[in-house]
Amino acid sequence: MTRVLVLNGPNLGRLGRRQPEIYGYTTYDELADLCVGWGRDLGLDVEVRQTNHEGELLDWLNDAADEEIPVVLNAAAWTHYSYAIYDACGQLVAPLVEVHISDPTQRPEVFRHSSVVTPHAAAVIAGYGIDGYRMALEHLARN
Ligand code: DQA
């Protein structure tokens, strides 16, 4: 089975409780279980992680680069300003799919309208709620 890392950045550990009008009521633990199940159905061995510490996400991306593991990444707010995440994504060898639960480009805060991940992404899936993670895994399974 192809191994896939689903990596989540800051504040996504509070899914279900965090601004549910924007991010929905599915908790992070439920999301993680869903991703593993969707992956299994697609023949993917999915591991889901979340961190509020940028260096930890950088370490995971560096490991994914070394091990040539495909990545689904929701870098959350780091998406919009972290050049360290930009550089880490640029080193990935296997495909990277960028996911956002909301569609940041349609939100009122201008800072959300740009992404350091997109230049390195094989696909960007945004605005489909947590279903976007399933779509991202489907993309990786197809390609
Ligand atoms: C997000 C969108 C980002 O703008 C925001 O900072 C997040 C979540 C999303 O999944 O919609 O934390 O990445």
Distance 61 CA to ligand 1 centre (A): 18
Instruction: State pLDDT tens for residues 39-55.
Output: 999 999 999 999 999 99
Residue 104 pLDDT grade (very low, low, confident, very high; cuts 50, 70, 90): very high
Distance 104 CA to ligand 1 centre (A): 7
How long, in residues, is the chain? 143
Given the DSSP bridges, would you call strands 96-100 and 123-126 parallel, antiparallel or unpaired? Answer: parallel
Spatial contact of 48 and 38, defined as CB atoms under 8 Å apart: no
Instruction: State pLDDT tens for residues 111-120.
Output: 999 999 999 9
Q: Whose CA is nearest to atom 7 of ligand 1?
A: 76
Instruction: State pLDDT tens for residues 52-95.
Output: 999 999 999 999 999 999 999 999 999 999 999 999 999 999 99
For residue 22, what pLDDT is reported? 98
> Given a cut of 90, is residue 97 above it in pLDDT?
yes
For residue 91, what pLDDT is reported? 98
pTM: 0.98
Spatial contact of 85 and 79, defined as CB atoms under 8 Å apart: yes
Domain region containing 66? 2-142
**Pocket test residue of 14, 97, 100 for ligand 1, highest count of atoms within 8 A of CB:** 100
> Given a cut of 90, is residue 1 above it in pLDDT?
no
Q: What is the CATH number of the domain that holds 57?
A: 3.40.50.9100
Q: Which two tokens stand for residue 122?
A: 């094989």
Nearest to 125, CA basis, from 95, 89, 96, 99:
99
Instruction: State pLDDT tens for residues 28-39.
Output: 999 999 999 999
Instruction: State pLDDT tens for residues 119-142.
Output: 999 999 999 999 999 999 999 999
